[in-house]
Amino acid sequence: MSFGAFRRFCRWSRGLLLWWVTFVPVVLGAPASLGSARGRVTAVSQSGQFVVVGPVQQPGVRGQKLAPVGDKLQVPIHPDLLAVTCERVRRAVNLRLGAPDRAGLPVHFELRPAHFEEGPITVHPRLFRDGWKFFAELPDSMDWTQLVRLLVEADVLEQMNRENPSEPVIVPPLWLTEGLTGLLLGEVGRDLVTESQTVTIRASRHRDAAVMARDSLGGTGPLSFSELAQPVAEQLGSADSYGRYRASATLFVHELLREDRGRKAIREFIRDAHRSLNWQTTFLAVSAGQFRSLLDVEKWWAVASVEVVGRGPSQFWPADRVISELAVIMTETADLPATNRTGTVRRTLPLREVIQTWDFPAQRPVLRRKVSQLHLLLLHTPPEWAGLVGESNRVLDEYLTAREAGGKDPVARMELETRLTLLVRNTVRRLGQLDEQIANAGRQVRR
């Protein structure tokens, strides 16, 4: 065999081995394992994104009693099982963000004996010619909640650098990692972690993650946005203070992701984080005008945190009452001149007609009152209808903000005058769509 033929044979053999390790397990629906002479094994996850190297798992003893999942906080970690857990966490993060379920950049884990591991476990990024790759060493036994937290961090870190072509690496803000971790621990829980010699018992439903976060705050309010965005050592120095940080971040991320608009903004935030020098700039850019400064975020969270802490199942109204109240709030009853101009007639108008036909000085007190009423209604709204109430409030609040801004600054006033027709038309259109959704919701809850 010539030297050139020998080289082609070697390349073909190497390609065949890579294909077997990566793609055959995908077809079979399980991670791939490639043993070594030193008693270590390499497992590749179903998508091929995660590669785990560790000791060969010892077979279970015949007749050994199976323990229920969740019986112990500490779990043994094996390459095959960790590869499956990685995929579960990745899919759970994408589902929570409303993102497409597709694998990203390679992530490599190496398992070490637990007694050799000291200090925090971190994910180390490395930039290669074909993009970023991520590496971490894990103990072969660890707290399952810490494992989930590490995998969430690795997933968000990977997504933030998926389109980042150069250094430095983009590190996700702590509030995002801890917030997503808190949501997954509450909503999915132990089912995220694959364990051996266990039997899964799903006798009870998972609790609401926001309720769990509120309970863990112990009656104290959540941290402010400034404290979440720039945590100091004292906030993270003990288990209690760190628990308060995670609970606050969980509530913060929960509120950001409550509606489609918020989920879209966070997806864009993760995707575009590499385009700016700091995450704050990107966060404001993707908010679609909701937040023009960090002070706006602080104000929003100051109101939202009070609402979310006070919002609980015992305070929720029945759906039919919520929709009925919403329908009333979105109208205004007023005495209007009669057609013969000799008297007045009482009419109930949709708010879109108020905005379209009344002068703004007459609109302002009505709309301010409606925004306050919607804020209060949101406190009693079950989660499944919170999006409709919140969107109604947002449309009115954005219209009020735009109109009131025009009276303070001469330049802004001139700009507003040129855009007034478009602003009114757009608000009336959005309110018309909301009225239709409210009517449909009313018919749905009365069935």
Query: In this structure, are 217 and 325 located in the same domain?
Result: no
List the Cα angle 119/42/56 in 5-degree steps.
80
Number of domains in the chain: 2
- Judge if 190 and 248 occupy the same domain: yes
Return d(Cα 396, Cα 173) in angstroms, integer. 32
* Residues 157 and 205 both lie in one domain: yes
The pLDDT assigned to 342 comes to: 64
- The neighbour count for residue 126, using CB atoms within 10 Å, is 10
Q: What is the pTM of this model?
A: 0.62
The domain in which residue 144 lies consists of 20-57+68-310
Alpha-carbon span 77 to 220, nearest angstrom? 36
- Domain end marker among 259, 290, 310: 310
Q: What are phi and psi of 102, to 5 degrees?
A: -135, 145
Question: Same domain, yes or no, for 296 and 352?
Answer: no
Q: Is 90 in the same domain as 213?
A: yes
Q: Give the separation between CA 44 and CA 62, rounded to whole angstroms.
A: 27
Judge if 221 and 110 occupy the same domain.
yes
C-alpha pair distances (Å), 116 with each of 20, 62, 79, 124, 420: 33, 30, 18, 18, 67
* pLDDT reported for residue 124: 92
Instruction: Tell me, yes or no, whether 296 and 404 share the same domain.
Output: no
pLDDT at 315: 65
At residue 398, the pLDDT reads: 86
CA distance 439 to 447: 13
- For every one of its 447 residues, what pLDDT tens digit does the chain have, with 9 covering 90 and above? 554 554 555 555 544 444 444 444 433 334 554 455 467 899 999 999 999 999 886 655 444 444 455 557 888 999 999 999 999 999 999 999 998 888 889 999 999 887 665 667 889 999 998 899 999 999 988 999 999 999 999 999 999 999 998 889 999 999 999 999 999 998 888 889 988 755 444 434 456 777 788 778 876 778 888 889 988 877 787 888 889 999 999 999 999 998 888 899 999 999 999 998 899 999 999 998 888 888 888 888 887 887 777 655 556 788 898 999 999 999 988 877 776 666 677 788 899 999 999 998 888 888 988 888 887 787 778 878 888 888 898 899 888 888 877 654 555 555 656 678 888 999 999 999 999 999 999 998 887
**Are 283 and 357 contained in the same domain?**
no
Which of residues 294, 310, 326 is at a domain's end?
Answer: 310
- Angle (nearest 5°) at CA 364 between 363 and 370: 90
Tokens of 350: 């949709």
Do 303 and 389 have their domain in common?
no
Q: For residues 154 and 264, is the Cβ–Cβ distance under 8 A?
A: no
